[in-house]
Structure 1
Amino acid sequence: MSEALINLIATSIAAVVSAFKGLLVPIIFFSLLAMLMRRKKALDDLRRALPEIHLNVKLMLFDAMFIVPMIIILGTFLSELVRDNGLSLLSLDTWSELPGWLTILIAIAIADFVGYWRHRLEHTWVLWPAHAVHHSDTQMTWIAVQRFHPINRFTTFVIDNLALFLLGVPPFAIVANGLVRHYYGAFIHADLPWTYGPLGRIFVSPAMHRWHHATDPRAFDTNFATVFSLWDQMFGTCRVPGPCDVPTGVTDNMKQSLRGQLIYPFTKKAYPQIFGKSEAATEAPAPEQNDVSASARRLEH
């Protein structure tokens, strides 16, 4: 067995271990928060969400085993490509003149701005079939942040991080940005009614992002940012009428299984603009059922 293969397997194992370790604190935090907010209803909410949580964990494990190692290799290649060819717009010396906390804040703001436009691109017919997997969670909880198709993982990583590489952002700030936006992403996926009041004009709230996942057509193509709602405010895509009590999900037939979610972007029914609307899409079940929907939603908007 070659050394490269051994290293790849070791990286996969480390990624799986890291993924589970990374769940420990959020599980404790969100469990306590659910008991505080929902009290006796918290267990009922958990029972309803268990099938979706189970699928989210499966996708997380699949990505950790097979996708994360490739992303690490790709990230190393891209960063070295930019550095070795002098493609960075700013040098590390320039960044070193700033306080560390400010460098991290700038990195988060840049990545969130780029991520806003990348997210809008994911809601076009080209990338929506892969992104629809993330939107297929009908009982959305914080762990929906783990429900991403491998294609979506790659597009998110490349687009968001390439901008930071090209700007010469120091590695510590790139890592900090990844951690902040990931864990804050988990928070805004939580089933919380919070709108943040006036602060909602600056930061994305759980209610704001829940509207982004809502089945209400008025919520389609809104609320794309992860951290700063400023981008949605600036570009006219912000819509937060209040706490979101609308079901989440999508509107074309997508199997609620690991295999079904992985193959969905490679099926004809995922591209109604090219192949026409499938019979399955015409008879799509309601979002709260197990076989939920995907491509018809937002693709017509």
Structure 2
Amino acid sequence: MEWLVVTLPSVIVILVLTAFERRAGHSSGDWWINLQTFAVSTFGAFTVYTWIKPWQAGSLIDGAALPPWLAVLLFVLVQDLGENLFHRIQHRVPFMWDMHSLHHSDPDMAVLTTYRHFWADRLLKTVTIWTVAGMIISPTPLAAFSYLLISQWHFVAHANLDWNFGKWSWVINSPAYHRRHHSSDPQHYDSNFAGLFPFYDVVLGGYNVPEGRPETGFERRPRNLIQLLAWPIVGKRHNSAPPAEQAAA
């Protein structure tokens, strides 16, 4: 039942956005591999991922002691800051880039690219940013559920759509803003890391106003489930240097 509660909103959002993609005449990306990634993630949710739990001991801020709206706001901001920092590390540390490059290998970023993550990424997040977030503020049930709903925006950000918020692009992520991050053009590397809120990119660096419709993906990408599961080895043959190093070269 818990899996259904978590998954059903995502399925609804994906179907709606896919309809928008088709209406706009855009492709759904490498959809078959992305669906396999979703299947691997779902399997992991009932097996491997249950072995490691996020921090559940004491926290610096007791979310239950705050007004509900403030507990939600702080928890969402802390979680998204953690996601932004983790994302930056993925683009700088070679072994983490070897895993994260799977997400960037989609030849045409689309809504299902949201699921295109190496299976070990979630384990690393559990013991790092999710643990640190739990140490900072303990989530109330409302805060946790609110973050689950707000996180559906990741599907919007990855959608193969030309939505661009223009001068407001620093407020909330958009398909145009995030497509630049997935761009295969080296001039766009190491930019637009935001998960939900680009104002973190303004503060931390890497914020760029989106423009145009750059190509995405790598020449080499996984072709089957075996390559998907062993991507850090398979993908390394194509590109062993993190984007930060390539941008600086």
TM-score > 0.5, shorter chain as reference: yes
Q: Which residue does 2:159 correspond to in 1?
A: 190
CA distance in 2, matches of 1:166, 1:179: 22
Q: Which residue does 1:89 correspond to in 2?
A: 60
Aligned-residue offset at 1:211? 0.4
Aligned-residue offset at 1:62? 1.1
CA distance in 2, matches of 1:161, 1:68: 19
Pick the structure with greater CA Rg.
Answer: 1
Aligned-residue offset at 1:19? 7.1
Q: 1:68 to 1:140 in 2, by over 3 A?
A: farther
Pick the aligned partner of 1:79 from 30, 33, 55: 55
Q: 1:68 to 1:188 in 2, by over 3 A?
A: farther
**2:33 matches 1:55:** yes
**What pairs up with 1:103-252 in 2 under 5 angstroms?**
103-124=71-92, 125-172=94-141, 173-181=143-151, 183-243=152-212, 245-250=213-218
Aligned residues: 244
Opposite residue 246 of structure 2, the aligned amino acid is E
Secondary structure of 1:126's counterpart equals helix
Query: Deviation per CA, 1:71-111, whole angstroms, max 9, x where unpaired?
Result: 24422xx434xx2xxx42223xxx33433222112111111
Answer 1 or 2: higher relative contact order, Cα 8 Å, separation at least 6.
2
Aligned-residue offset at 1:242? 1.4
Query: Deviation per CA, 1:243-276, whole angstroms, max 9, x where unpaired?
Result: 4x2211136x443222112212145x62xxxxxx
Query: Deviation per CA, 1:103-160, whole angstroms, max 9, x where unpaired?
Result: 1121111111111111000012130010011111112111111111111122233333
Q: TM-score of the superposition, structure 2-length normalised?
A: 0.86
Deviation larger for 126-135 or 232-241: 232-241
**2:232 matches 1:265:** yes
CA distance in 2, matches of 1:150, 1:132: 12
Secondary structure of 1:237's counterpart equals coil
The percentage of aligned residue pairs carrying the same residue is 23
Q: Which residue does 1:6 correspond to in 2?
A: none
What CA RMSD, in Å, does the superposition of the two structures yield over aligned residues? 2.5
Q: Are the aligned partners of 2:114 and 2:154 in contact in 1 as well (CA < 8 Å)?
A: yes
Opposite residue 37 of structure 2, the aligned amino acid is L
Opposite residue 209 of structure 1, the aligned amino acid is H
Query: Deviation per CA, 1:16-69, whole angstroms, max 9, x where unpaired?
Result: x66763443123321442355x1xx35xx35xx3xx111111111111113454
Is the helix fraction higher in 1 or 2? 1
CA distance in 2, matches of 1:206, 1:166: 32
Q: Are the aligned partners of 2:33 and 2:224 in contact in 1 as well (CA < 8 Å)?
A: yes
Secondary structure of 1:129's counterpart equals helix
Secondary structure of 1:106's counterpart equals helix
Q: 1:202 to 1:114 in 2, by over 3 A?
A: same
Unaligned runs of 5+ in 1: 1-10, 271-277, 282-293
Q: Are the aligned partners of 1:111 and 1:163 in contact in 2 as well (CA < 8 Å)?
A: no
